[in-house]
Amino acid sequence: MNTPVTLKVGDIMSEDEFFRFCLMNDMLDFERDSNGNIIFMSPTGSFTGSFNSDILIELGMWLHSQKIPGKLFDSSAGFTLPNGAVRSPDIFWIAREKWDVLSAEDKERFAPVCPDFIVKIRSKSDDLKYLKKKMDEYMDNGCQLGWLIDRFEEKVYVYSEGNEISEYAGLDMQLSGEPLFPGFLLDLSAIEK
């Protein structure tokens, strides 16, 4: 497991310049930390990508059936946290009232908003300590609920605003969307591992 390659560039790029840099290098995936350093993200393996999609579909269908207003995204989208970091987790959701106050221009860039819900699925190349730090960063910036799913160690870490991190062994379980999505249960045992 590796920590991603990070270019220590500090604050030499504005948000607009970083956005243009990403557009000019659209064959690569980047994030940016709160210090302005550029992080090269490796693509996920096919199996992890399929796992991500299964969760995205389950959540999307449930949100639609319950008429829960908001926007659901995959890792091809990025956003800017209040601390200035630009991130793109595997799956994230933003409440409609937060999305609607953004300008059209903000929505076309790395929107300056912290998602309310985040899912990160550990891929083979991911360092678990690094992912946990990112999850802490999301929560510190206003995320309400986050799931870190580790397929390799078969553990799930649930981050919930104002609560301790809950750790669960095994992937034959149901993850609750409480308190953000009352009634939503993701049956991990039904997703091919």
State pLDDT tens for residues 39-71: 777 767 777 778 899 999 999 999 999 999 999
Instruction: Give residue 193's pLDDT.
Output: 59
Q: Taking the domains of the chain in order of start, what are their residue ranges?
A: 44-190
Instruction: Give residue 186's pLDDT.
Output: 96
Entry pTM:
0.86
Which residue reads 């149901």 in tokens? Answer: 174
- Residue 192: is its pLDDT beyond 80? no
| Residue from 13, 7, 141, 131 nearest 80 by CA | 141
3-state secondary structure at position 49: helix
* 70-80 mean pLDDT: 94
- Residue 1: is its pLDDT beyond 60? no
Rounded to the nearest 5°, which phi and psi values hold at 26?
A: -70, -5
Quickly name the fold that domain 44-190 has: tt1808, chain A (3.90.1570)
Give the residue with greater pLDDT, 140 vs 125: 140
- Residue 2: is its pLDDT beyond 80? no
The mean of the pLDDT values for the chain is: 90
Of 1-15, 72-86, 95-109, 141-155, the poorest mean pLDDT is in: 1-15
* 74-92 mean pLDDT: 94
Q: pLDDT (tens digit, 9 = 90+) per residue, 112-138?
A: 999 999 999 998 878 999 999 999 999
| Residue from 183, 40, 50 nearest 125 by CA | 40
What is d(CA 193, CA 175) in angstroms, rounded to the nearest whole number?
Answer: 16
Q: pLDDT (tens digit, 9 = 90+) per residue, 30-40?
A: 778 888 877 77
Which residue reads 């929107």 in tokens? Answer: 111
The verdict on whether omega for the bond into residue 43 sits within 30 degrees of 0, i.e. cis, is no
